[in-house]
Structure formats: C-alpha cells, structure tokens
Structure 1
Amino acid sequence: MKHGIAAALAALTLAACGSGQPPAGSPPHHTADGYQNLYPFHQPGLGDILRWRWEEWTGPEVVQRPERIPRVQPDLAWLATNRSTASYTWLGHASGLLQLGGQNVLIDPIFSERVSPVQWLGPRRYLPVPATLAQLPRIDTVLISHNHFDHLDRDSIDALLAQPGGQPQFVVPLGIDAWLRDRGATRVNALDWWQSADLGGLQYTATPAQHWSKRSLSDTNETLWAGWAVKGQGKTVWYSGDTGYQQALFTDIGRRLGTIDLALLPVGAYLPRWFMASQHVDPLQSVQMFRDVKARQAVGIHWGVFALASEAVDAPLDDLPAARRQLGVSEQAFRLLPLGGTLRLP
C-alpha cells in the first residue's frame, strides 16, 4: 500500500507510548496519568511505524477493489418508522445504527470523507456513506468506543449536536466527556469498565477492550477505550470496540453479560500482524472471539471503507469465510452485511 503522507496520518491512530503505574487502591486499568490494558500490551513506537511504512513502500502494491463490497440502499422509510423490531444497519467501517427498544442508537458515527485530524489529508473513503445523518431517523443516543479519528469524528459529532429536535445523549468511556463538552455537548454519560447507565429504557454497559487511545502528540491513553453492551427489548447487543485478542478477557465478558443476541465484531485493519496484533484482531481471532463470548450471531464491522492497515479494504470478503470454515462457524452465525444493509433480529 503506497499511501505516503496519508498513510502516515493513519499510523498516528495506531501507535503510542506507555503509561505510568496505577495509584494505590485504584482499578488495575487506571494509571497515574490515564489508563492501561488488563493484559500485557505492546504499543508500537516510532521505530515500529517506520518499519511498517518501509515494508509497505518497498513491498508489492496492495490492490484495492472496493467494487467487490456489496452495497444496498438502506430502507430509510422502514428505519424512520420502526419502533418495535430490533435491528442493526451497517453504515460503513465501525459505524452503525442500532434500533432497540424504540430507541435509535448511533455507534461510532463517521460521515466525513476522511478519518484524520484534517479533511484535506489522510485516509479517504473508498465507498460513500450509504445514508447521511439527515436521512436517518433522529438519533436518541450516540455510543463512542474510543477517541481515534476513525471512531470519534469531529464533524459528525458537530452535526449530531445540531440535529433537529435537540442533542442526542452521548455515552462514552471516561475522559471523552470533556472533549464532547468542549464542543457543546450537554447530555453526556462517561462510564468506566463495567459501569452501566439506564437511558430511554435501555441499559448501556462499558466492557473492557485490549486497545489504547490517542488524539494528539501528548495525550496517549489519557482517555479510556471500551466496548459496549446494550440491553433492552429482551435482547443484548454487544459491540467489542477495537481490540486485540485476549481469550480470558472475552470469556469473562461473555460470562458477565450472559446471552448475547448480536455481537458487532471488527474484521478489518489487521495486517501486518507483527504490528497490529496487540491492538486489532484479525478475522480468525474475531470468529474465535465470537465463540469465546458465546454470542448467538455476529456481524463483522470495521472494514470496507478506509484503508488503515496493509490489507485491502475488500480482504475480509475472503479472509472471514476462510476463518469461519477453519473454526466451524456458519455464515448465518457470523456474517458480513452489505454496506447499508439491515439485520433484523428475531
């Protein structure tokens, strides 16, 4: 992949330095200057980034074939009136609209052209958004997993703050609340791992993830990262957030949450493994994660739109089926939705 400077901006979202030791009596993932993972974690430094970039610049060109990725027009009329059917609509990358308990929940919204500190440079969309924010039903709650630019997008947040009918409720990991309030958000719930908030008839619970945070050159791990469990309408939907693979972590999450009706699991941005393994699962690990938490079904996300790693944006179309075959999981159990597609839960 020869992205040049644009790829270097993507690398800023994927590497950092470590944190201090936690103060006495604090949770183990708290540190003197922020947060850390529950399990050993390698956070790549500048040398790792330069090695990754050198391998890309000197290696074979990655052929991007976004035309392979299935796309459908979202059923906007149905989404606008739906208040009874639990559903998930994939809006690209990690963004999705969850409809549960009569609420419209938007997850890690990215409607911008690029995932970058600026919109004139950085990783650019290979596929357009399937629906604009104005075309979606009014959003009740916004879930944010962490502060990387491909999950927390300034322009998308500003548009949500200005939506007709008033601001949505934001549910975020610790520390991101300050960023939101600086932008004018007034309805913010910031949660630590395993804390919950009951809003609009739904329960939101932050779950641990094996990842990190960074939005500038000087704020490494100052805000928390998380996955999210949303419970309501007799169902549990779990979004893992970005995460490396840790079996003990996922089996514990599955045990604590109980029956997970739908898991939203990342299947993209995973190569090269020597660089990405600590922070992003690959498709095989994602299918294993699905088995670890014992979810009833899963949808693969975090792929298909932005080239943030060394595999092609369409690679999960081949690598996820191979992973399912290897682990004996059916396509019905762990699927890829077309961009704009909706899964209605029974």
Structure 2
Amino acid sequence: MRSTRRGLLIGLSSLAAAAATLVTARARAARFYDGPLSDHFDGTVFRDPHGAAPKSIGDLVRWWGTRGGEPWPDRAPSPFVDRPPPRVEGTGLRIAYVGHASFLVQTAGHNLLIDPVWSERASPFGFVGPKRVNDPGIPFDDLPPIDTVLVSHGHYDHLDVDTLSRLAAAHRPRVITPLGNDAVMAAHDPEIGAEAYDWHDRVELAPGLAVTLVPLRHWSARGVLDRNKTLWAGFVLETPAGRIYHVSDSGYGDGFRFREARDRYGPFRLAILPIGAYEPRWFMRDQHMDPAEAVQAFQDCGAELALAHHHGTFKLTDEAIDAPVRDLAAACRAAEIGADVFRVLRPGEVWAL
C-alpha cells in the first residue's frame, strides 16, 4: 500500500512538473503585445514608472519556503444567492458581489461584469491551486444578458479564460481589457474577441456609459517567464448614477495613483477597493494593499462611498479568511468612517444605489 501511494505521488509530481514545463515554455516564447514605446512600455515589458518591480523568483521561493499562514476552512459558504433582474434602467445602480474580485454592475439598461471568475480554481491547472471556498454569488445560468466584460489584468484570479469562453458562447459580450490580455484570451478561444486598450484610453459602451482604463501599482504574469508582458489597469466607469472608480489589484505606495485618479477623473460616487491578499507585508506590500491602506486610498481618491473586494473566496496569501474584514473595520473606526460608507458584501449580496 505504501509503495502504491508513493508511486501515485511521484506520478502526480511528474504530471505537475510536465505541466509547469509546458506553461514555462509557452511563456518564454510568448509575445502578447507589439506596439509603440511609452513611459510604461519598453518594447517588451510593461512597468509602472510610479510603482515597484515585482518580487524576484528568489523572494518567491523564500516566501514559499516559510509560508503556511493562517488556515482557511475548506468551505465558507455565503447564505446569499442573487438572481438579478434582466436590466436596471435609467439612473439606478445595482452592484452584485459574485465573489473575490467579480462583480455584476447594472445601470443605464446595461449589464457589465468585472473580472468574472466562475471556475473552481484560480490556477492554470484544474487539479491544483487556490480553490474557492464559496460558490459564485450568482449562479452562471441566472446571469442576465451580459453586454460588456471588463478584465483588469492577467492573474488567474482575475482573467479566467474558461469563464470568458462560457460568456462568449452564452452572451457574446464585448470584452474590454488592457494591452496584451486580448492575445491571451484569443490563444485560448478566438470567440472571446477581446478589445485591448492602453492606460487613459476611454471607451464608449452605451449612451451615457463609458469606461476609462487607469494606471495602478501592480504587475502581471500567467507563468514564470512572461512577467509584465501584458498590461494591468483599473477602471473609471461613467454612469448616469455617477462615476465609479474600480481598483482591481494595487499596492498603495505613496498614494500617487489614487490622487491622480481623483484629480484627473473624479469626482467619484463610489470606489471599489481591494482589501485582501496582503500578508506577509514584506512580499505583498508593493502589489496588494492591506485594509488600512485601502482606507487611505479611499480618502485619497475622494469618493463618497467605498465597496470592498478581493477577500474571502480564494486563499492566495497568509492572512486568515476573516482578517481583511476585521482589519478593515478597525481601520474604518480609526478613520471615523462608518460601516455604511465603506461596505463589505458577501457573495450573493447586492448594493443598490
């Protein structure tokens, strides 16, 4: 029995190694974008001139060698399930939390998904990698007709090609994404048909509805050797209900990017801000805000209201499953911000403005 188990483990390890080798080889040869040079593209890779380079492979090995962090439950189901209406017309704004970084935004008779992930794992593999501990807050078959999808960057917990293929087959939405990510999607499924844009590009979606891609302090990769070969972005949504500033993943740094968004694209009615995946700080500080920094970003961008995301679904880092919400509450109390101003939803919950 012991030798059989050892053989099974060796076989699984060999399979994982072969799969990793294939992903690495594809990443080495991949070139996702070929366009003019800019202050954030050198002809091969993207960078944030106000940001920091991603951690090295050595740092990653160091973290993996010491990590473990707080354990998560295998399941943490939400008691909520949303079954949204077909449309929300006029100046109404309905935001449903699907989970992790995924939202359904309904306004102006338009249905828009942000970073949709319905897959069980945020991983290139179906058998290993971060596995969701709660179901999507909206069953896929209960989605209303989807007009537009926004995909912020290439990390697997944001760009889920299997979900995008399902959406393409069922809804044929317009897909808006930063430069290079369209090539990633097309390589998986040409039917996805994404449109790629640069920072500060503004895209009309419908009468009274537009989106602008805005810089954030982050990075991108889907393998070991394709770092920063695709661009990342946040989104400013212009809606009849007011402007929404959506921050996907971002470090805080000195707060420059949030003040820049306020000055260039504000005022904002709502900021959607990440609060999770922040421990250990020595590794995560440059790419993910902690809850106290999310509160500071909220103040910097000048939004009236805030909504949290990027927590409670996939264990990506070392903090406990409830730490982001608990730490956000403490940071809001310290800043005298009410829970009705900076809100936290569970998958399937809705905020109607």
Is the TM value for this pair above 0.5? yes
SS in structure 2 at match of 1:35? coil
- 1:172 match: 177
Of 165, 174, 192, 2:198 maps to: 192
- For the 8 Å contact 1:65–1:312, the answer to whether it is kept is no
SS in structure 1 at match of 2:106? strand
| 2-structure distance, mates of 1:325, 1:284 | 10
The answer for unaligned runs of 5 or more in structure 1 is 17-22
CA displacement at 1:64 relative to structure 2: 2.2
CA displacement at 1:100 relative to structure 2: 1.9
Q: Does 1:159 align with 2:170?
A: no
Of 55, 70, 95, 1:62 maps to: 70
Task: Map 1:302-321 to 2 at 5 A.
Answer: 302-321=310-329
Q: Does 1:296 align with 2:304?
A: yes
Of 108, 115, 118, 2:115 maps to: 108
CA displacement at 1:93 relative to structure 2: 0.2
| Deviation by residue 1:185-208 (Cα, 9 ceiling, x = unmatched) | 364321111111102221110000
- 1:19 match: none
So what's the TM-score if we normalise by structure 1? 0.87
- 1:149 match: 156
Q: Does 1:45 align with 2:52?
A: no
SS in structure 2 at match of 1:99? strand
| 2-structure distance, mates of 1:235, 1:258 | 10
- For the 8 Å contact 2:243–2:268, the answer to whether it is kept is yes
| Deviation by residue 1:57-94 (Cα, 9 ceiling, x = unmatched) | 4xxx61325877753121x1x52243342111110000
Q: Cα gap change, 1:55/1:110 in structure 2, threshold over 3 Å: closer, same or farther? A: same
Q: Cα gap change, 1:39/1:69 in structure 2, threshold over 3 Å: closer, same or farther? A: farther
- For the 8 Å contact 2:245–2:268, the answer to whether it is kept is yes
| 2-structure distance, mates of 1:178, 1:83 | 34
| 2-structure distance, mates of 1:189, 1:291 | 32
| Deviation by residue 1:99-120 (Cα, 9 ceiling, x = unmatched) | 1211110000000100100111
- 1:258 match: 266
| 2-structure distance, mates of 1:301, 1:156 | 19
| Deviation by residue 1:217-266 (Cα, 9 ceiling, x = unmatched) | 32211110000111121411111110000312110111111211111100
- Number of positions where the alignment pairs a residue of Structure 1 with one of Structure 2: 320
Q: Cα gap change, 1:223/1:49 in structure 2, threshold over 3 Å: closer, same or farther? A: same
Of 225, 234, 237, 1:230 maps to: 237
- 1:267 match: 275
So what's the TM-score if we normalise by structure 2? 0.85
| 2-structure distance, mates of 1:281, 1:69 | 25
Of 214, 227, 251, 1:207 maps to: 214
- 2:31 match: none
- For the 8 Å contact 2:235–2:245, the answer to whether it is kept is yes
Q: Does 1:181 align with 2:186?
A: yes
SS in structure 2 at match of 1:203? strand
CA displacement at 1:56 relative to structure 2: 1.9
| 2-structure distance, mates of 1:55, 1:181 | 37
Select between 273-282 and 309-318 the one with higher mean Cα deviation.
Answer: 309-318
Q: Percent identity?
A: 36
| 1-structure distance, mates of 2:166, 2:248 | 22
SS in structure 1 at match of 2:236? strand
Task: Map 1:2-151 to 2 at 5 A.
Answer: 26-57=37-68, 62-64=70-72, 71-74=79-82, 76=83, 78-84=84-90, 85-151=92-158
| 2-structure distance, mates of 1:264, 1:339 | 15
| 1-structure distance, mates of 2:275, 2:79 | 18
Whichever residue aligns with residue 331 of structure 1, its letter is: A
In our comparison, the structure showing a higher alpha carbon Rg is: 2
| 1-structure distance, mates of 2:211, 2:318 | 34
Whichever residue aligns with residue 117 of structure 1, its letter is: P
- For the 8 Å contact 2:88–2:94, the answer to whether it is kept is no
| 2-structure distance, mates of 1:220, 1:267 | 24
| 1-structure distance, mates of 2:76, 2:159 | 27
| 1-structure distance, mates of 2:77, 2:122 | 20
| Deviation by residue 1:14-49 (Cα, 9 ceiling, x = unmatched) | xx9xxxxxx9x9421111212101224042112211
Give the RMSD, CA atoms, in angstroms. 2.3
SS in structure 1 at match of 2:286? coil
The answer for unaligned runs of 5 or more in structure 2 is 1-12, 28-33
Q: Cα gap change, 1:306/1:264 in structure 2, threshold over 3 Å: closer, same or farther? A: same
| 1-structure distance, mates of 2:134, 2:201 | 36
SS in structure 2 at match of 1:274? helix
